Structure 1
Amino acid sequence: MSERYGSLIVLLASASLASCSVGPDYRPATSGDLALPSTYSDGSVAALDEAGLASWWKRFNDPALDRLVERAISVNLDIVQAQARLRQAREATIQAGADLLPTVSGSGRAGRNVVINGKDSSSFSLGLDADWQVDLFGGNRRAVEAARADEAATGYDLAGVRIAIIAELVTNYVQLRLAQEQLAIAQSTVGYQRDNYDIARWRVQAGLASSLDEQQARTQLAQTEASIPEIRTGIRNALNRIAVLTAEAPGAATAALEPVAPIPAPPTGIAAGFPADTLRQRPDVRSSERDLAAATARIGVAQAQLLPSLSLSGSLGTSALTTGGLFDTIAGSLFAGLSQILFDGGARASRVRAQRAAADGAFAAYRQTILTSLEDVENALVAVSSADERSAQLAIAREAANNSAFLARLQYQSGLTDFQTLSNIETSLLSSSNSLASSRAAQALAVVQLYNALGGGWQTMETNGTGA
C-alpha cells in the first residue's frame, strides 16, 4: 500500500512541476524598447571607465578622504539598515520557496492507565502527518519568482544607499576644506585691513587725511571680522556631519580633520560612456526593473487563485502497550482534495486586475527612473564643464585683483590715492579670492555629482544574488 501511495505522490509532484505557470512571463525591455539615445549631448563616445567608477573617490588623491569613505562603507548606519532589509528579503525568498514543499509534523504520546482494584497498563503511540498544497498552476512558483525579484531590488537599494552616502561624505569633505580656505582668506584679509586701519589712523593724526578714512577702515575691518564666526560655524557643521556619516558622535571623532588642508583637486577627462552604460551601472534603475519583474510575477499569483487547488494529506501512526511493540503494526492514510471557489463577489478577479494595474505602474516608474538617470548625467556633464570654465576665468580675476590691491596699498601709503579706492579694490580682492576658492570646490562637487549620476561606488560590493 505504501508503494502505491509513494507512486501517487511522485506522479502528482511531477505533474505539478511540469505544469505551466499562469500569468505573463517577464521579458526585460531592450534599449530599443526604451528608445534610449545613442550618446549624451556632449558628444562624448569614450567608453566608461568601470574600474575607476567603482572607487571613484580615490581619483582625488586624498588619503584622508579615502579613509573616511572606507569607514563610512563599513559602519554607516544607513548602510547597516539597508543591509538588514536585504537579509529580510532573503528570508522572504526562503519562506516563499517553502510553500512549494509539504509540511510534516510528528507527534508522540505516552500514558498510564490506572484501574482501581485492577492491573494498571501503559500505552504508547507515534504519529506522522503531512500536508501538501500542490502547485498545479504555478501560483507558488510565481510567488517565488516575485520574492527573488524583490530580493534583487532590495540589494540594489542597498547599493543606492551606499553610493548616496559616499557622495554625501565626499561633498561634506569638500565643503569642509572650502570653509577652511575661506577662513584662511578672511584671516589674511583681516591682517591687511588692520594694517590699513593703523595707516589711516596715522595719516589722520598727521593731518594728511580726514577722519573719514579712519572710520571707513574701521568699518571694513569689523565687517570682515564679523564673517569669521559664520565660517567657523560652517566648518563645525561639516565636521559634525562627517562624524555622523562615519557612525561616530560629533566632537572629538573628527579632530584629525581640523588642521587646514587644500580643497581636493578633482580628476579630469572623465568618460561618461553611453546611456546604456548608465542604465547598467545605476542601482536605482536596476532596482526599478526588478520591481517591475516582481509586479509581473504577482499577476500569475493572483490568477492562480482563480483556479482549482489540489491538496494532499497523509498520516502514519502506530500504538502499542509497550515501547517494544510500537513498530509491530503501522497504519497510514492518504487523502486528496480538490477545491474551487464558486463565488467570492468578484474579489479574486479584482485582485488580478489590481495586480495588472500595479505592473503598469511599475513599468511607468521604471521608465521614469531611466529618464531621471539620463537627466542626472546630462546635468552633471554641464556642471563639470561650466565649473571648469568658471574657475579658469576666476583665476585670472583673482590674479588681477591681487595686483591691483598691492598697487593700491602702495599708493595709499604714499598719499597718491584715497582710502575709498583702496577699500573698493581690497573688497574686490576678498570677493575674487572667495569666488576662486568656491569655484575650485564647485569643480570637485561637479565631479562628485557626475560620479553619483553615473552610479559609481557600488560595483565591488558583494551582492549575493542580486543579479549584478
Structure 2
Amino acid sequence: MQNLLPSISDRHPARAWATPLALATALLVAGCSHTSQFAGQSQPVPVPTQWQRSAEAAPVASPADLSRWWQRFGDAPMTALIEQALAANPSVLNAQAVLRQARAQRDVQVAGLLPSVGSSVGATRSRSGNNDASNRYSVGVDANWEPDWWGRQGNAVQAGDANVQAAVASLEGAHVALAAEVALNYIELRSLQERLQIARDNLAIQRENQQITEWRLQAGLVTSLEAEQARQSTAQTAAQIPALQSSLAQSRHALAILTGQPPGALDTQLQTVQPLPVAPEQLAMALPADTLRQRPDVRVQEHKVVAAVANLSAQERANFPSLRLSGSLGLGALTVGALTNGASVAASIAAGLSAPLFDGGANRAQIRAQQAAVEQARIAYRSTVLTALQEVEDALAQLQGDKERLVQLLVAQEAARNASLLANQRYSSGLVDFQTVLDTQRTLLSSQESVASTRAAISTDHVRLYKALGGGWQPLDTDGQLVGSSTPATL
C-alpha cells in the first residue's frame, strides 16, 4: 500500500503530517505486531580458571606484556625482522585494505540516516502556433529523507560497526600470525646454522680419522675394510652439508618474503652465524579468560555474532511501514538574469507512506535465513573459543615435554662424547676395531643434532604459546597502522 500526498504549500504543517502519522500507526498495529523474535542462545563455553600445565610461579601477563613478546628473547635481529614484516608484509597490507573497505561501507549505511539534497538547473525553449519562440530557465533544490522510525537503518549501521570491529580484529590477527611466522622461520634459520656447524665439526674429525686409517693401512696395521668404512662415514657426513645449506637458503628466502622483500634480499644480513634465540625460563602467562579477550580470532567471531543479530533485527523490520519525505524549492524565469531578481518561486512538500501487503513469504524466508546466519555465527564463536583453549594447553604440554626431553638428551650427549673419546683412544692402542669408532661417532653426531633440534623446539614452543595466548597485536590508528610504530631497527 502506498499513499502519496499531493503537493502542498498552503496547508498548516501540523495538519499536513497528521494523515501519514495516523496511517503509519494503524499499519503498525494491524500488520506488524507479530515481529519474529529469535530467542536462540548459544550454550556458554566453560572457561577454566587456570591452565592445567602452567607453572605456579609463572606471573600473570597483561596484554601489554604480550604485545611484543619477541622482545623477551633478547634477539635484536629477530625483533627487527618482525617489526619490518608488520610494516610491509602483503597479508597485513591486505588486511588494512579490508578494514578501510569495512569502514567505507559503514559510512554508506550511516549516510542513509541523513537527508539527501540535490540541485538541478534547466533551460527550455518552446514555440507557439504563430512561431513565437520563448525561453524559460529554472534552478531548484530537492531534498529527500526517510525517517528511521523502526530502527531498521539503525540496525544496519550497528551491523556495519560490528563488521568494522571484526575487520580491526582480523588485522590484529594478521599481526599475531605474522609475528609468529617470522619468529619460527628465524629460529629455524639459527637452528640450521647450528646443525651445519655440528656437521662440519664432525666432518673434520672423520676426515682426520680417515687419514689415520689410510696411514695405518699403508703400515699394514689395518685392512682395506677399515679404510673403506672410514671413507664411507666421511662421505655420509659430507652429504648432509649441502642439504643443510639448501635449507638455510630457503629460510633466508622465506624471511625476505615475510618482510615484503624479494628472495635474497636478506642473504648478506643473515649470513653471520648467531646463537639460537632463547626465551626466559619464567613464562609470561595470561589467565584463560584474559586469553580469550586478547585473542583476535575470538573477537572476530564475537563481532560477527553482533553483526548477524543486527542484520536479523533489520530484516524483521522490513515488514514495517516506511515513510518518505520529500521537498523542493525552485526558481523560474524567462531570462537567466531574472533568476536572481523577480523570478517565480515554486515550493512543494510531499510524503509517501508504504508498507508491504503480500510478497509470497519472501521476507519470512529472509528472516529464517538470517536466524540461521545468527546460529552459524554463534556456533563459529563457540568453536573458536574451544580451539583457543586447546591451542594454549597443547602449547604448554609440548613445551613441558620438550624441556624434559632436553634434560635427558644432554645426558646422552655427554655420554656419547665420552664414548667417542674412549673409542678413539682404544683404537689408537689397537684394543678395539674401527667399527666401534664409527659407531660412537655416529651416536655422538646424532646426539648433538637431537640436542640442537630440541633446543630450537623449545624456542618454537614459546613462540606458539605466545601466539596461542593472543600476543603479538598492538593498538591501531584510524588507518590501521600500529600506534607508536617507528622505523624498524637495522639487522
TM-score, scaled relative to structure 2:
0.87
Residues 73-152 of structure 1 correspond to what in structure 2 (within 5 A)? 73-110=86-123, 122-152=135-165
Distance in 2 of aligned mates of 1:434 and 1:325: 95
Aligned partner of 2:426 among 411, 435, 452? 411
Aligned to 1:194: 207
What residue identity is the alignment partner of 1:406? L
Residues 382-401 of structure 1 correspond to what in structure 2 (within 5 A)? 382-401=397-416
Structure 1 residues 268-322: Cα deviation after superposition (integer angstroms, max 9, x where no partner): 2113221101111100000100000000001111111122221112211110123
What residue identity is the alignment partner of 2:49? S
Deviation larger for 37-46 or 233-242: 37-46
Distance 1:250 1:102, change over 3 A: same
Deviation larger for 82-91 or 46-55: 46-55
Distance in 1 of aligned mates of 2:316 and 2:128: 59
Distance 1:254 1:110, change over 3 A: farther
Structure 2 residues without counterparts, runs of 5 or longer? 1-8, 29-34, 484-491
CA contact (8 A) 2:100 2:479 kept: no
Aligned to 2:281: 268
CA contact (8 A) 1:71 1:246 kept: yes
Aligned partner of 2:362 among 347, 355, 370? 347
Aligned to 1:291: 304
Residues 178-327 of structure 1 correspond to what in structure 2 (within 5 A)? 178-326=191-339
Aligned partner of 2:189 among 170, 176, 201? 176
CA contact (8 A) 1:177 1:260 kept: yes
Q: What is the DSSP-based 3-state SS (H/G/I as helix, E as strand, rest coil) of the residue aligned with 1:336?
A: strand
Aligned to 1:163: 176
CA contact (8 A) 2:304 2:377 kept: yes
Structure 1 residues without counterparts, runs of 5 or longer? none
Q: What is the DSSP-based 3-state SS (H/G/I as helix, E as strand, rest coil) of the residue aligned with 1:252?
A: coil
* 1:339 Cα deviation from its structure 2 partner: 1.3
Distance in 2 of aligned mates of 1:343 and 1:454: 52
Distance in 2 of aligned mates of 1:82 and 1:179: 32
* 1:75 Cα deviation from its structure 2 partner: 0.6
Distance 1:339 1:58, change over 3 A: same
Distance in 2 of aligned mates of 1:131 and 1:326: 24
Q: What is the DSSP-based 3-state SS (H/G/I as helix, E as strand, rest coil) of the residue aligned with 2:70?
A: helix
* 1:118 Cα deviation from its structure 2 partner: 8.2
Aligned to 1:363: 378
Residue 56 (structure 1) aligned with residue 66 (structure 2): no
Distance in 2 of aligned mates of 1:6 and 1:76: 61
Distance in 2 of aligned mates of 1:7 and 1:381: 73
Q: What is the DSSP-based 3-state SS (H/G/I as helix, E as strand, rest coil) of the residue aligned with 1:134?
A: coil
CA contact (8 A) 1:5 1:334 kept: no
Distance in 2 of aligned mates of 1:4 and 1:399: 101
Structure 1 residues 247-287: Cα deviation after superposition (integer angstroms, max 9, x where no partner): 00001333210111111112221132211011111000001
CA contact (8 A) 1:23 1:299 kept: no
Distance 1:149 1:184, change over 3 A: same
CA contact (8 A) 1:68 1:246 kept: yes
Distance in 2 of aligned mates of 1:26 and 1:95: 30
Structure 1 residues 155-191: Cα deviation after superposition (integer angstroms, max 9, x where no partner): 1011111110110000000000111111111111110
Structure 1 residues 354-403: Cα deviation after superposition (integer angstroms, max 9, x where no partner): 10111011101100000000000000111111121112221222122112
CA contact (8 A) 2:176 2:470 kept: yes
Distance 1:121 1:343, change over 3 A: closer
* 1:41 Cα deviation from its structure 2 partner: 0.9
* 1:63 Cα deviation from its structure 2 partner: 0.7
Distance in 1 of aligned mates of 2:164 and 2:66: 25
Aligned partner of 1:456 among 462, 466, 471? 471
Distance 1:385 1:364, change over 3 A: same
Structure 1 residues 126-166: Cα deviation after superposition (integer angstroms, max 9, x where no partner): 11112222222111100000010011001101111111011
Aligned partner of 1:435 among 445, 450, 462? 450
Distance in 2 of aligned mates of 1:361 and 1:193: 63
Aligned partner of 1:36 among 47, 56, 63? 47
What residue identity is the alignment partner of 1:459? Q
Distance 1:206 1:384, change over 3 A: same
Deviation larger for 138-147 or 198-207: 198-207
Instruction: Give the number of aligned pairs.
Output: 461
Structure 1 residues 51-104: Cα deviation after superposition (integer angstroms, max 9, x where no partner): 320110011111111111110011111100000000000001100111111221
Which of 1 and 2 has higher RCO (CA within 8 Å, sep 6+)? 2
What residue identity is the alignment partner of 1:194? R
* 1:35 Cα deviation from its structure 2 partner: 2.1
Distance in 2 of aligned mates of 1:460 and 1:41: 30
CA contact (8 A) 2:96 2:479 kept: no
Deviation larger for 142-151 or 45-54: 45-54
What residue identity is the alignment partner of 1:297? A
Aligned to 1:425: 440
Two-structure CA RMSD over aligned residues (Å): 3.1
* 1:464 Cα deviation from its structure 2 partner: 7.2
Q: What is the DSSP-based 3-state SS (H/G/I as helix, E as strand, rest coil) of the residue aligned with 2:347?
A: strand
CA contact (8 A) 1:244 1:250 kept: yes
* 1:8 Cα deviation from its structure 2 partner: 7.2
Identity %: 41
Distance in 1 of aligned mates of 2:382 and 2:452: 39
